[in-house]
Structure 1
Amino acid sequence: MSAESLERRTRNYLSSSVPQIQDHGGNFQIEDVDEESGEITVAIGGACSGCGIAPMTMRAIERRLPEEVDEVTRVTVRRTSGPRAAVMPDKTEEMETMEEYQDYEPPF
């Protein structure tokens, strides 16, 4: 399997299975593909840079991408920020203690 093919499969997965990133004004970029180890680095940005629940999305991508793309062994997701990014505080821990979010899973 070539790195290009692995990158394409990763991009296809993110585009089709995580459409809310783009639907909500965010974007993703595959920054690195290590063909031999199966490690992928993905950056999310745009509206994701300032989103308080982006960490939940990031964790879901890190957990689910290796389940969906066979050759992927490890995923690192990071937020990018531009000069105008106003990053909201991470709401993940607070949301995890709220009853209405106890069974929350991102919808992908």
Structure 2
Amino acid sequence: MSANGLERRTANYLSNNVPQIQQHGGHFEIEDVDDETGAVTVAIGGACSGCGIAPMTMKAIEHRLPEELDGVSSVTVRRAGGPRAAVMPNKTEEMEEMAEYEDYSPPF
């Protein structure tokens, strides 16, 4: 399987199974795909950067992508940088550490 195929399938999965990212003004980018190891890095940004449930969305993506897509062994999700980046990064970084997010399983 080619890295482009895995990248395309990852993007399709996120578009189809986590549509609220785009519906709520956020965006995602597939930053890196290692075809040999199956490691994928995804960045989310736009409105996601300041969203209170962004940490939950990030954890859900990290857990579900390897379960749902053959060839994906691990996923790292981070906040995108640049001009489309965080609205409230300090707040969401604090929220990632909150116990409430540890076992959250959103419906996507």
TM-score band, normalised by the shorter chain? 0.7 to 0.9
Distance, in Å, in 2 between the alignment partners of 1:37 and 1:7 is 13
Equivalent residue number for residue 37 of structure 2: 37
Deviation (angstroms), 1:17: 0.3
| Structure 1 gap segments, 5+ residues each | none
Distance, in Å, in 2 between the alignment partners of 1:47 and 1:95 is 23
Identity of aligned residues (%): 70
SS, match of residue 107 in structure 2: coil
Asked if 1:86 is matched to 2:94, the reply is no
Once superposed, which parts of structure 1, at least 4 consecutive aligned residues long, lie more than 6 Å away? none
Q: Supply the AA of the counterpart residue of 1:87.
A: M
**Cα deviation per residue 1:63-104 (whole Å; 9 max; x = unaligned)?**
0000010100000000114457321513355571xxxx9x85
Equivalent residue number for residue 57 of structure 1: 57
Equivalent residue number for residue 105 of structure 1: 105
Q: Supply the AA of the counterpart residue of 1:85.
A: A
| Shift in alpha-carbon separation, 1:50–1:81, aligned structure 2, 3 A | farther
Q: Name the TM-score, length of structure 2 as normaliser.
A: 0.84
**Cα deviation per residue 1:37-85 (whole Å; 9 max; x = unaligned)?**
0000000000011112211100000000000101000000001144573
Q: What is the RMSD of the two structures over their aligned residues, measured on CA atoms? A: 2.2
Q: Name the TM-score, length of structure 1 as normaliser.
A: 0.84
> Contact 1:40/1:72 (CA < 8 Å) preserved in 2?
yes
* Higher alpha-carbon Rg: 1
Equivalent residue number for residue 18 of structure 2: 18
Distance, in Å, in 1 between the alignment partners of 2:87 and 2:12 is 29
